[in-house]
A and B are shown apart, each in its own frame.
Chain A
Amino acid sequence: MTTLAPRPWGLTRMRPFPETAVAATATVELDPESQTGRWIGPDGLKLPSLERHKRSETSSETTTKTSADGNIDEGSDQQGDTD
């Protein structure tokens, strides 16, 4: 019989992100002249800047917003490999 290892306690605290943080997809391409992202909505039109911030996926779900204690906004390292 296998004994199940106790669940790491910190994982019992995992919760979803707020609904509002999840945004529809947009595609980004590089503007070669300005070196900024060019944001294209699902309708093929350029997104206004406010929408960009809502949609930016520098973290997988929450955009340009931040975190008091964690990596939602964390810096260099959301993907564990940035140095």
Chain B
Amino acid sequence: MLLQIARFEARYVLRNPLLLATALAAFLFVGAGLSVDGFDLGNEGGLLKNAAYATLRNYAVLSVVFMLVTTSFVATAVLRDDETGFGPIVRSTGITRADYLFGRFAGAFAAAALALLVLPLAILVGPLMPWTPAEQVGPARLADHLYGYLLVALPNLFVHGALLFALATFTRSLLAAYLGVVGFVAAFFLLQTGFVGEIAVAIAEPFGGRALRDMVRYWTVAERNARLPAVTGAFLYNRLLWVGLGVLALALVGVAYRFADQRMTRRERRRLQRSRDVPAQATRRAGAAVVLPAPQHGPRALRALLWMRTRFEVRQVVRSPAFVVLMAWGTFTTAYALTTRDTPGRPSVPTTLTLLPDIRDAFAVILLVVAILYAGELVWRERDRRVHELVDTTPLPNWGYVVPKTLAMALVLATMLVANVGAAMLFQLAHGHTDVEPGKYLLWYLLPAAWDALLLAALAVFVQALSPHKTIAWAIMVAFVVWRQFNQVVDHDLLNFGASPGMPLSDLDGAGTFWIGAWTVRLYWGAFAVLLLVGAHLLWRRGTETRLRPRLATARQRLTGAPGWIAAAALVVLAGTGGWSYYNMNVLNAYRAPLAALARQAELERTYGRYAGLPQPTVARMTLDVALHPAERRAVTRGRWRLRNETPGPIAEVHVRLLDDALELVRASVAGARHVVDDRALAYHVFHLDVPMRPGEERELSFETRRWHRGFRNGAPDTRLVENGTFLAAEHLVPVLGMGREGTLEDAAARRRFGLPARGGRPRLEDTAATAHATLGRGWTTTDITVSTTADQTPLAPGRRVSDEVRGGRRVARFVSEAPVRQSFAVQSARYAERRRTHAGVELAVYYHPAHGRNVDRMLDALAASLDHYRTAFGPYPFDHARIVEYPGWANFAQAFPGTVAYSETYGFTADLRDPATLDHVTATTAHELAHQWWGHQVTGADVEGSMVLSETLANYSALMMLKRLGDEAELRGALAYLRDRYLAWRSTGGVAEPPLMRVETETWIGYHKGALAMYLLQARMGEARVNRALRTFLERYRFRGAPYPRSLDLVAALRAEARTAEEQALITDLFERVVLYDLQVRAPTAVRRADGRWDVAVPIAARKLLVDARGAEHETPFAERIDVGLFTAEPGSAAFRAPNVLVAERRPIRQGVQVLRFVTARRPTHAGVDPHHHLIDRRSGDNVGRVAGPD
């Protein structure tokens, strides 16, 4: 019986078009992900499209998507009978409860499991498409699919199928099932990230995705491509737990479900009692004497109509179960976005403006869904409820549908946004941030978000009104949204429905003047939306007619009167705002279509690329006068550059070009030269010297540039020059000399498209010719910069401030640097508060937004401590000042300029360090950036492989040693663990071949993270004094040195000069010239009491050392090295661990394979460890320490 029921149910489900549609959509989606270049689904970086891990992720993620199927079919397998009223017939047939329940479940589940087979099909077929990039496809492996289907997807389908079925059947409510879906999705997304190393999290996440991810966390690309994780540990427990819960849920329903008392709760029975038939005969005989009020059709009636209809529609929406689900979903996404907004371990103060982008992004999708979904529901409501024949024959005008339905949608969207904002405010208060700013929420989030959602709703209403079927219109809207998301062709805000120029926010500058453009274009689309709604009014589907033509016939007639006037007014607004926007975007500002912008870059390279190697003079001294007019967003720079020929030959041409599109060259001249190329379109200028510059000779280049952000432009606005918080770097103000790679096309596909040759990487380390160029082309110079701005702002530039005064209503300051500085500088201006401190002859200062003072003292402390340490360790500091200058939070980084650190307001100023357990990344970052005053601003590397070592590795090492000096063990341990995890996690996503540290190109996880770990290990082995002596020697040799610029090889040579033993030399080789991994493990150590009362301790150790070759393959290599071992009376790294807990700490020779180390100790150790403090890079660091067994 059970089988027959199951078979019937499966057939029923399999015939359902929704199932087929979902399966087809999944097939196309996965197939596209597996075939289209750049569209990756389960691919988490640099893998083959059908890599083993990508396949498993696809199974995990799509089994989440398949909840659509389980809720629609599996969960409702029994509920459906009650809804169709067929239930009593089925239940009176004498089948048993178990047959009925489990038969239905089994049938629906089997159908869903069958539908799930589209996955392997899509993964197998996708890569066969002709457009699939062949290099991204590996061999198809059956084992991946068996693993993915049987261990990931099918158990998941069973788990949520069973739990949702149980929920729906038990509560007899579909709503409960939908809330269950929200719970599942929430659990999936909440538990994907964060909580590193928590096995409980991997077990708790119901889809096993987190467990999979944890297992492969440190796997390389090659491993992820071909290896399947073992079914052990958290993954195994996860599967067992959840499948068990699914079985339990089914069993509970089997016990609790009742046939007889069909779905009649006491409340329902009572309700039925009350609505028992009222007999007809008892009626009063009402004759013609009854006079009913007559209808009216004047304005008052229409007002009543509008009010009633709106209230009615709103009530319908708000009371519908779907609304509850959506609100739950919205609340969850907000909570999720807010709790995960910070980088793990780096909490920040939840200021209003920093929260807004987070909640906006989190909520965007839900608003989209509501706008599209409810437009369909509302437009079709009368018909769906079959009241359309009642309502459509009333004299209700067409706008009586359109307007209230649109208003209802507006109200629903606004309600959701208010709830969203409320959650954000609660979050702020919960974090002790009492400066809740309702006005900002309203102006910068609620209104724009509601407006944009309404625009979409208006479009959806219009499409629904025209479409013959609700689902067709939904499909059109989904297609539209997808197009809008991925469209790369049309980027003009006046052509993309609902688009508007960006409105970046910051505490320093608020919404600046950006809101003007944003709202002008919003108004433009608003007028367009009104036209759409008038169109919906004219063409409203009424009665049983679904054809469009009869409606078109009457539309013109309906246009007369108010609709016509409204349409005319909307047209006027549309034309006005459109014209004004066009003037701003295309006339006041240059507009380039995306393709045109690329074409221009290609043109630049084609025309002037041949000058790339041309010897150019260097800038010996820059004299600049920068006049900032922040309110007008205008800057005029007059410059006089002393050029010197430092090349061995004569120079006949000076090439001057601008990198920033927004920068204009007003005039330029070189003494004794003709301006032979004046290419304004490509911003390229050539000055031909009448008499070539001899080596060592100097000339003067004088110029004037201007940047002026008039009105507003298309797309994202330029945020460099704003009313309060200007942050202009060199390329935003002045030209560069000579043709280089900057400003040319980078993207490989774009280069192919424009017929440009593929671009190689950085020059090789051995390419000595390349040592003539500094990293980023910025060599040494001296500067004299005068900055003027409005009187209430503080102008800042690198150099000693020699004057600072207010003249003629403007504040003018002059900064002179006699010490050489690189040609990278920043000019900043804002209404700053200022905190200074003089420390050891250097003026330390922080310039900050008055509301952002909370971490300023910490920054000053860090500057002072770092200054002391670096001066002692590495050598003198070249400036009499060290400044930290805040800039608005539309970017999120800190950057070192000569004597100055530009610091984003969201990076350090809003960091929340009240919890002492939090890593103090403000101190770490400040130390790192100040270290750049030595590493980067005293030595700068040649533009070859490994140049990052000379800046970022050394800066990060310096900061690490600073933290060590400050003496907080936990802090240092945390920082090292962070570096290790970043390196291991990111190396697995970085492509197949991992360069050794010495040859790092752009891989930050090598240059920053591995580099710092390498230097830290080196100083642990060689001693900090010797390492620092090597650094000092290196620095002295290359300080302020021009071409040939130093390379990472020179640093390695300096370190080798300090290494005394072959072991130290070998270590340097491993750290800088190779990619080395260790796998060290302590196995069941024991302690036995000796006769003399001491303890014999035996520590078995298994050790492997792996060399990673250039293709990413690992080779085990024999080794014999002295490695730290230790015996402890507490677990190292735990909170209770202190120095007296160390019984033994020494370096013992360790070789490959298993070996037993023996010790005699006075006290019994509880833990034994090999490399217990994780100085070596070991992917499984959890087994380095073992608990000692044996009697106490």
Pairing of A with B: no
Residues of B within 8 A of A (CB): none
Enumerate chain A interface residues (CB-CB to B < 8 A): none
